[in-house]
Amino acid sequence: MKLKKRVPVIDQGNSLGFWGGKFGGNFVPETLKKPIEDLEVLFNKLKKDKKFINERDKYFKNWVGSPTRFIKLENLTNHIGGAQIWSKVVSDANGGAHKIYNATVHCLLAKRSGKKIICGDTGAGYAGKMLSMAAKKFGLKCKIFMGAKDIARQQPNVKAMKKNGAEVIPVYSGSQTLVDAVSECMRFWVANCDTTAMCVGSTVGPAVFVRICGWSTSQISRELKVQLIDEFGTIPKKLKLYNCVGGGSSSFGFWNEFMDYDKRQVEFIGVEAGGPKKSKKHAAPLTYGSKIGILHGAAQYVNQNSDGQIEETESISAGLDYPGISPLHCFLKDTKRARYTAASDEEALTAYKLVTKFEKLRPSLEPSHAFFVALKEAKKLSKNTVVVINSCGDAYKDRGILKERLGKKYVKSN
Amino acid sequence: MLNPISVAFKKAKAEKRPALLTYTVAGDSSKKQSLDILKSISKNADILEVGVPHNTPVADGSQIQTSAYRAIEKGIKINDIFRIVRDFKKFDKNKPIILMGYYNMIFQYGDNSFLNKCKNSGVNGLIVVDLPWPENKNFAKKCKRKSIYFIQLLSPTTTSKRLKKIIQNSHPMNYFISMLSTTGGKLKVSPKEIIKNYNRIKKINPKKEIVIGFGITDKTIGKLKSADGLVVGSAICKEITRSLNSRQNPVTNVGKLVRKLKNKIK
Ligand SMILES: Cc1ncc(COP(=O)(O)O)c(C=O)c1O
């Protein structure tokens, strides 16, 4: 299996949509073949269309707010005493997380295809919140599917969705988390694909959704590349990019523009959710060697039992609480371009405490996983190594969990 | 030897009626009970579709999901399903059985091992909901080598060009999804419209048997009689749930429902 140079990774799949010949594809009911093909034709055309790109960039700049900040975490750097620690504060983006890029592009596509309704899934509630914002902006009706467990633990985002006029549909099946929300959303699309567009909230799902999402979040690394050159005059000799990985949209977007660099120069580190220390359950299929299986239309490494039933996951962060992983990351893992590891619930909380103690930054529980691994590794790295962590979400949505686990003092100033 | 599925269509044609296909989930609400249900309906059903329950079903509505989750909760495994089929065939060896499920379960078992097991336990056909054409070309070929029908799904969204290609490459039986819906949705198109679409597909190659499924109940089945076959699934799963909730015996209730369905198409 080989990664090609100078070809966008999203376009490295074969004619059936498989990366590396085996990840991704379109394992979908017959009813969805046509709408997916229509979306593919539209996307392939528009992604080469200058006018469309300009339109996207205009919304990214003026509405999403680009670029998001790239800042040095001086206090943490001094405290850790190893590599330089930097953060790309993607939570600056309108709505507070990277999910806005994919949501915006999907709404632009939906408008072009003449659809009046858009449906989407959400775990942490960010994908849903952003889709509700974009839908409102572009005059589309919006339906969000969300697991009942996630509705309970991510209330601030649920409130935001409703305020934007979206209908939030609770999903009670299975583990009542993201995996069930995506299934229910796909089922809704099966029954309504004539009138409704679907937005999959991460780089997962049938191949075209993986591609659209990766194309959208790549805005993050486009900005970062410019910011690095502004700061250092060049891409640093030793650069390490840490990102949490749920479905994989923020990490893929954070890395995409650096794909062709040698990994000894620009290393990618993906941090999955290891779950509670004491639990066997986790949401880290790449780290813990899960087998290839099919989930939500795509072949990928996925937590499952020997019969092929998808296994329940457990994580403190709703956004990472997903048994599968993007085919793009399976491909990056097997081609050894990226390295994957996991942080536990407790470790994420430790990192959150440390970051908020030293810096004016409040990463949500998802990026806190990445911070844990980055800070641990930074200690052993030289001063000329540049560590960058994508702070892709803000902790406001996690205030309930943080209060319960760490006490009031950690949410007060929100 | 002719596949029992084709024999069943011939028999129904001779009786000037569509074949009746039932769908029940293996292991719902227990291994034994699902076998007893198959036995109790085999008098009136021509072809038995047996669902392989999966916990992330992207095309099933709430009734079939409820049945599937119930079966999984009770611990049903693929090998149990093969055992159910084998035991059923001891009871009625000529009644055709079609397994219907999602590809991951086959993929984990291994295509070849799965098909060997199918062959040995007496499975006559397969429907794999999320393995569409052309992705299913290879797998369909493997089925053919084992004389197992791979049943292609056709939908209202399938383009004419695609319909022709799929049917050209298909085995003797195909399945037309009546409307844009997951299983068990209310019929949102009129039976007349469904039959019109069905006829359009049937014309492409009249030799292929085409069954209609999704949303058919005892209220609507009588109006779709001109098809080669009609599938009732969610209505049966719903009856199992209703029986369990009211502490009645699902085996006799489902038996009665299927007899009623049969009477409507005679
Ligand atoms: C803040 C945040 N980070 C990360 C994720 C994980 O998703 P992905 O891996 O697609 O970036 C989510 C998902 O909801 C999220 O809200």
> What CATH code would you report for A66-96+218-410?
3.40.50.1100
pLDDT for the residue numbered A378:
98
Q: What pLDDT was estimated at residue A410?
A: 85
Q: What is the CATH number of domain B19-265?
A: 3.20.20.70
Q: Which residue has the tokens 């039976």?
A: B191
| More reliable by pLDDT, A408 or A109 | A109
Q: Match 């319909």 to its residue by tokens.
A: B163
Mean pLDDT of B181-193: 91
Q: In what order do the strands lie in the sheet with A292-295?
A: A18-19, A23-24, A298-301, A292-295
Pick the catalytic residue from B36, B49, B228, B239. B49
Q: Residue B67's pLDDT band (boundaries 50, 70, 90)?
A: very high
For B77, the 3-state DSSP assignment is coil
Yes or no: say if A142 and A135 are a contact pair by the CB < 8 Å rule: yes
Average pLDDT over residues A401-407: 95
Q: What is the pLDDT of residue A196?
A: 98
Residues of chain B in contact with residue A34, where contact means CB-CB under 8 angstroms, are 155, 157-159, 162
Per-chain mean pLDDT for chain B? 97
Q: In terms of Cα–Cα distance, which of B69, B13, B19 is closest to B45?
A: B19
Instruction: Give the pLDDT score at B185.
Output: 79
Instruction: Give the model's pLDDT for residue A95.
Output: 96
Domain spans, chain B = 19-265
In chain A, the residue whose alpha carbon lies closest to the alpha carbon of B107 is: A293
Mean pLDDT value across residues A4-26: 98
Q: Give the pTM.
A: 0.97
The rounded distance, in Å, linking the Cα atoms of A215 and B162 is 29
The tokens 């962590």 sit on which residue?
A389
B100-108: average pLDDT: 98
Asked if residues B157 and B181 have their Cβ atoms less than 8 Å apart, the reply is: no
Please give the pLDDT value at position A413.
Answer: 54
Dihedral sign, Cα of residue B132, residue A174, residue A288, residue A242: positive
Contact B181, B159 (CB under 8 A): no
* DSSP, res A110: H
Asked whether this complex has an ipTM greater than 0.90, the answer is yes
Rounded to an integer, the average pLDDT of A135-149 is 97
Percentage of residues in chain B having pLDDT higher than 90: 98
Residue with token string 């999966």: B54
- Determine the average pLDDT of the residues in B160-189: 95
Bridge partners (DSSP) listed for residue B21: B47, B231
Using a CB–CB cutoff of 8 Å, tell me whether B200 touches chain A: no
Q: Contact at 8 Å (CB) between A43 and A211?
A: yes
Contacts of B153 in chain A (CB under 8 A): 29-30
At residue B249, the pLDDT reads: 98
Yes or no: say if A117 and A196 are a contact pair by the CB < 8 Å rule.
yes
CB distance A232 to A269 below 8 Å: no
Mutate which: A14, A15, A26, A31, vs B, most B CBs within 10 A: A31
Sequence-distant (≥ 6) Cβ neighbours of residue B110 within 8 angstroms: none
In chain A, where are the structural domains located? 66-96+218-410
Residue keyed to tokens 């960039």: A57
Is residue A412 over pLDDT 80? no
Cα(A199) to ligand 1 centroid in Å equals 15
The model's pLDDT over B109-149, given as tens digits with 9 standing for 90+, comes to: 999 999 999 999 999 999 999 999 999 999 999 999 999 99
B130 classed as catalytic: no
Helices (H), strands (E): how many in chain A?
15, 14
d(CA B211, CA A59): 49
State yes or no: pLDDT of A145 exceeds 90: yes
Joined together, the tokens standing for residue A304 give 């499952």
Burial (0-12, 13-18, 19+ Cβ within 10 Å), A383: exposed
Q: Of the residues A91, A99, A394, A396, which should be mutated to test ligand 1's pocket, given the most ligand atoms within 8 Å of the CB?
A: A99
- CA dihedral (A242, A248, A250, A251) positive or negative: positive
Distance separating alpha carbons of residues A350 and B151, to the nearest angstrom: 54
Query: Residues 19 to 78 of B: which have CB under 8 A from any A CB?
Result: 54-61, 65, 69, 72, 77-78
Are A264 and A334 within 8 A, CB to CB?
Answer: no
Residue A414: what pLDDT? 44
Percent of chain A with pLDDT over 70: 99
| Bridge partners for A14 per DSSP | none
Is the CB of A187 less than 8 angstroms away from the CB of B162?
no
CA atoms within 13 A on the CB side of A329: 35
**Mean pLDDT across the stretch B66-87?**
97
DSSP secondary structure code for residue B63 in this structure: H
Which chain A residue has its CA at the smallest distance from B157's CA? A31
Catalytic residue among B28, B36, B46, B60: B60
A296 dihedral zone (left: phi>0; alpha: psi -120 to 50; beta): left
Tokens of B64: 């079939």
